[in-house]
C-alpha cells in the first residue's frame, strides 16, 4: 500500500514538472520565434498611459437654489483608424449630420493605420446629444443593411461607420443666458486642457469650482474610455444674488437706458446689514454660452463688469460722505446755518453751484436738498484736508473693497503733499469732482450710513457646497467710519430733503433716504461740455434699512441731471424690490410691531 502511494506521488510530481518545463521552453520558443514581434505589436494596442482627469466643474446657484451655471453632456467624435473600412461613408455622414467639411474628414479617416502613428484621430468635440442620436440611428441602419446583404454579397464592403467613435464630455452651460452674466463671468471650456474661468465668480473661485485633478492609468484603446474612473466634482457655489431681483433690475435698467439715451448703466442692490449683493445689473451683457463673442459685445471696453471695474467721478452722491464726515467730526449740525452767495473761493479758485445761482440762507438739510456745491465746499474747509481725507480713507474710497469678483479696479485720490494736489481739490472733491470711485466703492461706503455706522464687506458668495456639506460665508465688518448717531442723523436729513423737494425718488408707502448726483465727465482738454454721469443712491425703509440701491447712468441724452433720469430709475427699482422682498408698507409694518 505504501509502495503504491509512493509511486503515485512520484508520478504526479514528475508529470507537473514536465508540464512546467514544457511551458518554460515554449515561452522561450515564442519569444525567439519570427512571430514574436507580431504578438508584441498586438499587445501594444492594449497598453495604458497616465492621464490627468479633471473633475466635473461645480455648479453656481442663486440664493434660492436656482441654477445659474452648470454642465451639460456633449460628445467628442473621432475614429480608430484600425477599424475604418469606408472613409467615404464616414465623411459624408459627418458632413450631413454634424456639418463637418467632407474633404477634411475624408483625409483624416482614410489614412492607413501604421503602428508608429496614433490610432485615434479626433474629428470634432462638444457635439450635441441630438446629433449623436442621429449618428447612432444611421450606424444601426447601416449595420442592419450589411447583415441582410451578407448572405448574398460575400467579400463586398457595404457602407458602414466602422471605426467611428463618440465619447461623452462636459461643457459649461448657463441656462439663464445673459442674466447676471457680469457677476458670473464665464468658463472658457473650449480650451480643454488650459480651460479656466474668466471674470466674476468663475474667475474668483476658479480653483474651488475646478476641484482637484487626479492622475490615472488609461487604456490606449478608445473603446475602453468608459472605464476611466470618476473623480469627485469641484465645489458648487451658492450666491447672494436673487434671480428675480437680478432679472427685475436688468429689465428696468435696460428700459431707462433706452428712454434716456444713456451710453450704459449700472444698478447695484445690497443688503446694508450683511453686505450681500442681491443684484448687480450692468450693461453691456454677454451670453456666457457664447463667450467667444466677448470682443463683439465689449469692443474697446476694458471692464467686463462696470460696477466693480470702472472708476468715474460720481458727483453729488459723494456729498453724503462729506456731510457724514462733518457731522461725525462735530463741525456742523443739521441746523447749522449757511448763507449761500452762489460762490466760494477755495485756494484762490471760485467754486459755484450747479445752477450758477445763489440760494441764500440755508441749513445743512437745505444744502443737501438743493445739492449746493458752495455749501459742501465750505463744509469741507471746516473739516480741513487732514480730517476730510482721513474720513474718505476710512470709508474705503481709493481702495479695493475686496468684493469677491474678478476684475475690481480702484483709483487712489490725491492728498496734500502729492504732486498735482492743490487746495481747490478740497472744495471740488467735497462734491465728487476730481475724485474717482467705482459704484461698488460708493455703495459700500454709503452703506455705513444705512447700517448704523458699520461698513460691511460686499460679497456675492453666500455658501460653498463641497462633499455633501454646506459652508456659509458669514458677513464681515470692514470698518466703522462714523458713529451710529451720525448715521441716524444723516439718514433722517436725507429722507427729509427728498420729501421737502418732492423728489422723483420717493416711493409711496415707504420712507427712503437718498441723494442724487450729476457729474461732469473729464476729457483730454478738460471737462466735456455736453456729457454727464447721472447717479442716485438711496436706502430704506428709513427706520430699519433692508436695502440700499446705487444707480449710475452714463451720459444720458434726454436730461443731464441725476434728479431727472436716475431718481425715477431708483424709484421703479424700489417699487418692485419691496414686493420681491415681501416688505410691507411702513404703516403696516410699524402697526404690526406696535401690537
Predicted pLDDT of residue 51: 56
Contact criterion met (CB below 8 Å) for 231 and 73: no
- Identify the three-state secondary structure at position 426: helix
Predicted pLDDT of residue 575: 97
Contact criterion met (CB below 8 Å) for 238 and 463: yes
Predicted pLDDT of residue 19: 66
Question: Please, which contacts does 557-560 make with residues 24 or more away whose CB atoms are closer than 8 Å?
Answer: 557/260, 557/261, 557/262, 558/259, 558/260, 558/261, 559/260, 559/534, 560/518, 560/530, 560/531, 560/532, 560/534
Predicted pLDDT of residue 47: 55
- Residue 69 scores a pLDDT above 90: yes
Q: Which of 78-92, 150-164, 205-219, 303-317 has the lowest mean pLDDT?
A: 150-164
CA distances, 41 to each of 80, 149, 211, 385 (Å): 16, 34, 38, 83
Alpha-carbon 590 to chain mean position: 38
Quick one: what percent of the chain has pLDDT higher than 90? 64
Contact criterion met (CB below 8 Å) for 240 and 461: yes
Quick one: what percent of the chain has pLDDT higher than 70? 86
Contacts of 99 (CB under 8 A, 6+ apart): none
Quickly state the pLDDT bin for 48 (edges 50, 70, 90): low
Rounded Cα distance, 15 and 3, in Å: 18
Quickly state the pLDDT bin for 155 (edges 50, 70, 90): low
Q: Residues 37-43: what's their mean pLDDT?
A: 54
- Residue 195 scores a pLDDT above 90: no
For each of the domains in the chain, give its residue range(s) and CATH number, in order of start.
Answer: 51-104+123-239 (3.90.1310.10), 243-594 (3.40.710.10)
Quickly state the pLDDT bin for 136 (edges 50, 70, 90): confident
Give me the phi and psi of 455, to 5 degrees please: -105, 120
Quickly state the pLDDT bin for 110 (edges 50, 70, 90): confident
Contact criterion met (CB below 8 Å) for 239 and 463: no
- Residue 270 scores a pLDDT above 80: yes
Predicted pLDDT of residue 31: 64
Quickly state the pLDDT bin for 390 (edges 50, 70, 90): very high
Q: Centre a 10 Å sphere on the Cβ of residue 48 and count the other Cβ atoms it contains.
A: 12
Among 370, 63, 378, 53, residue whose Cα is nearest residue 233: 53
Contacts of 434 (CB under 8 A, 6+ apart): 313, 425, 428
- The string of pLDDT tens digits covering residues 406-446 is 999 999 999 999 999 999 999 999 999 999 999 999 999 99
Predicted pLDDT of residue 160: 86
Question: Which residue, chain included where needed, has cell 490606449?
Answer: 220
Give me the phi and psi of 222, to 5 degrees please: -65, -20
SS (H, E, C) 300-364: CCCCCCHHHHCCECCHHHHHHHHHHHHHHHCCCCCCCCEEECCEEEECCEEEECCCCCCCEEECH
Q: Residues 546-563: what's their mean pLDDT?
A: 96
**pLDDT averaged over the chain?**
89
Quickly state the pLDDT bin for 76 (edges 50, 70, 90): confident
- The string of pLDDT tens digits covering residues 321-340 is 999 999 999 999 999 999 99
Q: Which of 3-7, 14-18, 220-224, 433-437 has the lowest mean pLDDT?
A: 220-224
Beta strands in 40-180 (DSSP E): 48-53, 60-61, 67-80, 120-127, 164-173
- Residue 239 scores a pLDDT above 80: yes
Q: Which residue has the higher pLDDT, 285 or 87?
A: 285
Q: Which of 39-43, 541-545, 571-575 has the lowest mean pLDDT?
A: 39-43
Predicted pLDDT of residue 158: 80
Q: Residues 490-510: what's their mean pLDDT?
A: 95
Q: Residues 168-193: what's their mean pLDDT?
A: 91
Positive or negative torsion for Cα 253, 258, 260, 266:
positive
Predicted pLDDT of residue 583: 95
Quickly state the pLDDT bin for 265 (edges 50, 70, 90): very high
For residue 241, cis peptide bond before it (omega within 30 degrees of 0): no
Q: Which residue has the higher pLDDT, 153 or 203?
A: 203
Rounded Cα distance, 250 and 24, in Å: 79
Among 237, 266, 271, 241, residue whose Cα is nearest residue 456: 271
Amino acid at each position: 500500500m505504501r509502495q503504491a502511494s509512493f509511486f503515485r506521488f512520484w508520478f504526479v510530481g514528475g508529470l507537473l514538472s514536465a508540464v512546467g518545463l514544457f511551458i518554460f521552453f515554449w515561452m522561450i520558443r515564442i519569444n525567439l520565434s519570427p512571430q514574436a514581434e507580431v504578438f508584441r505589436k498586438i499587445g501594444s494596442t492594449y497598453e495604458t498611459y497616465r492621464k490627468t482627469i479633471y473633475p466635473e466643474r461645480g455648479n453656481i446657484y442663486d440664493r434660492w437654489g436656482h441654477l445659474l451655471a452648470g454642465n451639460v453632456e456633449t460628445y467628442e467624435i473621432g475614429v480608430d483608424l484600425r477599424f475604418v473600412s469606408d472613409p467615404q461613408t464616414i465623411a459624408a455622414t459627418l458632413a450631413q449630420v454634424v456639418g463637418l467639411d467632407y474633404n477634411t474628414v475624408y483625409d483624416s479617416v482614410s489614412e492607413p493605420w501604421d503602428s508608429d502613428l496614433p490610432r485615434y484621430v479626433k474629428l470634432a468635440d462638444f457635439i450635441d446629444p441630438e446629433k449623436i442620436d442621429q449618428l447612432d440611428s444611421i450606424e444601426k441602419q447601416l449595420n442592419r443593411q450589411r447583415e441582410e446583404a451578407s448572405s448574398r454579397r460575400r467579400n463586398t464592403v457595404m457602407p458602414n461607420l466602422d471605426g467611428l467613435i463618440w465619447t461623452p464630455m462636459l461643457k459649461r452651460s448657463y441656462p439663464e443666458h445673459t442674466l447676471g452674466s457680469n457677476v458670473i463671468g464665464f468658463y472658457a471650456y473650449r480650451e480643454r486642457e488650459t480651460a479656466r474661468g474668466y471674470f466674476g465668480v468663475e474667475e474668483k473661485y476658479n480653483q474651488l469650482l475646478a476641484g482637484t485633478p487626479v492622475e490615472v492609468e488609461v487604456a490606449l484603446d478608445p473603446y475602453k474610455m468608459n472605464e476611466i474612473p470618476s473623480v469627485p466634482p469641484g465645489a458648487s457655489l451658492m450666491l447672494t444674488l436673487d434671480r428675480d431681483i437680478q432679472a427685475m433690475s436688468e429689465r428696468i435698467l435696460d428700459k431707462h437706458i433706452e428712454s434716456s439715451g444713456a451710453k450704459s448703466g449700472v444698478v447695484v442692490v445690497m443688503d446694508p446689514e450683511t453686505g450681500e449683493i442681491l443684484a448687480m445689473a450692468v450693461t453691456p451683457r454677454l451670453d456666457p454660452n457664447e463667450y467667444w463673442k466677448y470682443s463683439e459685445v465689449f469692443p474697446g471696453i476694458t471692464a467686463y463688469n462696470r460696477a466693480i471695474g470702472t472708476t468715474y467721478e460720481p458727483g453729488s452722491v459723494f456729498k453724503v460722505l462729506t456731510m457724514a464726515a462733518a457731522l461725525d467730526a462735530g463741525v456742523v449740525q443739521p441746523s447749522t446755518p449757511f448763507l449761500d452767495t452762489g460762490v466760494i473761493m477755495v485756494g484762490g479758485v471760485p467754486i459755484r453751484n450747479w445752477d450758477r445761482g445763489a440760494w441764500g440762507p440755508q441749513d445743512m438739510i437745505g444744502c443737501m436738498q438743493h445739492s449746493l456745491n458752495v455749501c459742501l465746499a465750505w463744509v469741507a474747509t471746516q473739516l480741513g484736508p487732514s480730517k476730510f481725507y482721513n474720513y474718505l480713507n476710512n470709508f474705503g474710497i481709493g481702495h479695493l473693497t475686496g468684493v469677491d469678483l474678478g476684475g475690481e479696479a480702484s483709483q487712489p485720490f490725491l492728498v496734500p503733499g502729492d504732486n498735482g494736489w492743490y487746495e481747490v481739490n478740497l472744495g471740488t472733491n467735497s462734491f465728487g469732482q476730481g475724485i474717482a470711485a467705482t459704484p461698488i466703492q460708493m455703495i459700500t461706503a454709503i452703506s455705513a450710513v444705512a447700517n448704523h455706522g458699520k461698513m460691511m464687506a460686499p460679497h456675492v458668495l453666500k455658501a460653498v457646497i463641497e462633499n455633501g456639506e454646506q459652508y456659509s460665508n458669514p458677513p464681515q465688518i470692514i470698518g466703522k467710519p462714523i458713529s451710529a448717531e451720525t448715521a441716524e442723523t444723516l439718514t433722517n436729513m436725507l429722507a427729509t430733503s427728498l420729501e421737502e423737494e418732492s423728489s422723483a425718488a420717493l416711493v409711496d408707502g415707504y420712507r427712503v433716504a437718498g441723494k442724487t448726483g450729476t457729474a461732469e465727465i473729464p476729457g483730454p482738454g478738460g471737462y466735456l461740455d455736453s456729457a454727464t454721469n447721472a447717479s442716485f443712491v438711496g436706502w430704506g425703509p428709513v427706520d430699519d434699512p433692508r436695502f440700499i440701491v446705487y444707480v449710475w447712468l452714463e451720459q444720458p441724452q434726454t436730461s443731464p441731471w441725476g434728479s431727472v433720469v436716475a431718481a425715477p430709475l431708483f424709484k421703479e427699482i424700489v417699487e418692485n424690490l419691496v414686493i420681491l422682498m415681501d416688505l410691507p408698507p411702513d404703516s403696516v409694518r410699524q402697526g404690526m410691531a406696535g401690537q
